Amino acid sequence: MVPMLRVLIAAALVLLLGGSAPEAKRVALVIGNGSYANAGSLANPVNDAQDVAQKLRDIGFTVVDGYDLDKRDMEGKIGAFADALDGAGAGLFYYAGHGIQVDGRNFILPVDAHLDVPAKLKLESIPIDDDIDLMQQQTGTAILILDACRNNPFARSLNAKAATRGVQAEGGLAEMNGAKGTFIAFSTAPGSVAMDGTGRNSPFAEALLRHLGDPGQSINDLMIAVRRDVVDATKDFQTPMSWDSLT
């Protein structure tokens, strides 16, 4: 028998007898920002991100993580994430901290952000859709989880300086979508504010940690369980939302 034919037959037998190919690599970027220089401190984002990072490692993700990052360090972590995504089957980005929407576009804030004028928006923040594009370009599945709707600390200053330029900063985050193979989870509904929490974790992160990795569930099952727990814990104040084009 031709040696190559033996190899193909052996591989087929392995599959028929219950063997499987190695699972595709899964890579996560986890960032938690709480100690803001110009926007007030948030108590729980670093705790939330550290706990989520550990949970993701426990269930098999390769994790790139960072805490209380300035703009340069955030860009460095995103670059490291891009490198780690090479050959991955799925990418996941979890962010906890301040997030804002301006003119319907969402941004996450490094701890050194000082958005006193609209012109600084692109210089001192990170557009969230850039991170989605990064994952979509390199993997078949892109997952974005945002616990970043706590408030817009710069809404008043941005709107005051931009009244004549048609720029509008709103509360919460704007709705988002993505290309095929994308899942986006928000800690609360678009335009709404999420609670930071009074314990170690935010209500959203606490529920996510409770259910992440439960056997036999899809990611949509996960979000239903998280949504139920957050609604109960916040007495209907906060309702996590999600959008997906998973196949």
Mean of all residue pLDDT scores within the chain:
84
pLDDT of residue 39: 79
Do 29 and 65 meet the contact criterion of CB atoms below 8 Å apart?
A: yes
What is the distance between the alpha carbons of residues 54 and 51, in angstroms, rounded to a whole number? 5
Neighbour-count burial of 140, counting CB atoms closer than 10 A to its CB (0-12 exposed, 13-18 middle, 19+ buried):
middle
Using alpha carbons only, what angle is made at residue 239 by residues 238 and 245, rounded to the nearest 5 degrees? 145
Q: Look at residue 55 and tell me whether its pLDDT is greater than 80.
A: yes
Q: Look at residue 12 and tell me whether its pLDDT is greater than 50.
A: no
Residues 49, 63, 81, 98: which is the catalytic one? 98
114 labelled catalytic: no
Q: Which of 73-87, 116-130, 154-168, 220-234 has the lowest mean pLDDT?
A: 154-168
211 labelled catalytic: no
Residues pairing with 183 in the sheet: 143, 244
Residues 149, 169, 222, 226: which is the catalytic one? 149
For residue 27, what pLDDT band results from cuts at 50, 70 and 90? very high
Predicted TM-score of the model (pTM)? 0.84
Mean pLDDT of 228-236: 95
